[in-house]
Structure 1
Amino acid sequence: MKRSFKKQLKKWNIGEYVRQFSIVTGGVLLTLWLSSLITASSKQREVRQAMQLVALELRNNVGVIHDYEWLYTDEKRIARLMRERNFSLKGLPADTMEVYWRRLTNGMGKPFRFLTDALEMFKTTGIAAEITDKRIVIELLRTYNVIKAFDNSMDLYYKQRSEALLPFTMGPGNLFGYGELKDTFVELLATNSMQGWISAIPHAFNADFFSHNSERIEAMIAELEKRYR
């Protein structure tokens, strides 16, 4: 057996052995490298798709801010007109009166809602860990904090309106009754709480409050769209 092994050893070509070993090893390393490359490419594709969804969500939220801005601008216009008229409805056409009524009393809460679904996906799926530039992660979270702060401001604004309406809704005038609109509106405008609220509306937000918030979000959108086309 020993002689057979020695004979076989003599037949080996050490150069051929090294060559074959190198081929096998190189093949394994190439396979591992390609596998790693495919995995990395797949992860980057997931990151790109996720960030595109985030950008779309932010775009929607900018639209919500614009909706709030339009509504507040109209409420402010009506509030100033009512102050100039000393809270009187005399001489107002019925359709104008109805518009004023809707603007000043419609609903008991916020009319619009911000989306955060893409943010939750970003935070819970490990996407953030795959982004090498952590600055973009920090800026994105700050942007959503801007949205949250804006939403809190809207909460406060519409809560104050609800509080102004509450005494009337709980009293004999009943905001949601079936009386004539004009009579109900006159009763409402006669209350101190409603007059105080209407007087406060024009001063609720600074002139650049809405544009400042929307511009900060749009800057983040532009950065995401540039990076993750």
Structure 2
Amino acid sequence: MEQRRIAVVSAGLSVPSSTRLLADRLTSATVAALRRRGVEAEVEVIELREHARDLADNLVTGFANAELRPALDAVTRADGIIAVTPVFSASYSGLFKTFFDVVDSGALTGTPVLMGATAGTARHSLALEHAMRPLFAYLRTVVTPTAVFAASEDWGGAGEASHGLASRIERAAEELAELVAARPAARTADPFADAPSFEALLRGV
């Protein structure tokens, strides 16, 4: 099977978190959708709450420390991204925005992204369209048509709300899987590819 890398960015602050729960469900559905297309997914989850201080340090120093760098590399080298945030004051969280602020400019160009958000009430659902989608458009990513919002009433039970959430998750996962499977796998550039050999250095080349 072909291989693709999926980076999952979860900006939930609590443990457990409805944001992480939504991220996990989107990930499971995407992995299954990719497998149906003959693609095996390697998943890496980035919990932003674990990097809050690292992100603040990056803002004031301009450099990612040793703890933050692997998370940034996982996102910039991914074949697809699942990005989920809680909604605060009708927009994505500050932690979520800070993470994407420190991602290298242009590093996500063309990368497929599935957006998700959680909040206590469905009144915040438009944050996906008026806040998150413009952010990822600015980063020049390719965002799935379907974004997934989950309010408190969407969780649990077997009612219409729960069924609707499951349906949106499946639809969004299929869209992301289609975009990821259609792209060539991302390649990690060798930073030493153009370095002269040891023999060449000895010859003074």
Q: Which has the higher contact order (CA 8 A, sep 6+)?
A: 1
Q: TM-score, normalised by structure 1?
A: 0.26
Structure with greater strand share of residues: 2
Give 1 or 2 for the bigger CA radius of gyration.
Answer: 1
TM-score by length of 2: 0.29
The structure whose residues are more often helix, as a share, is 1
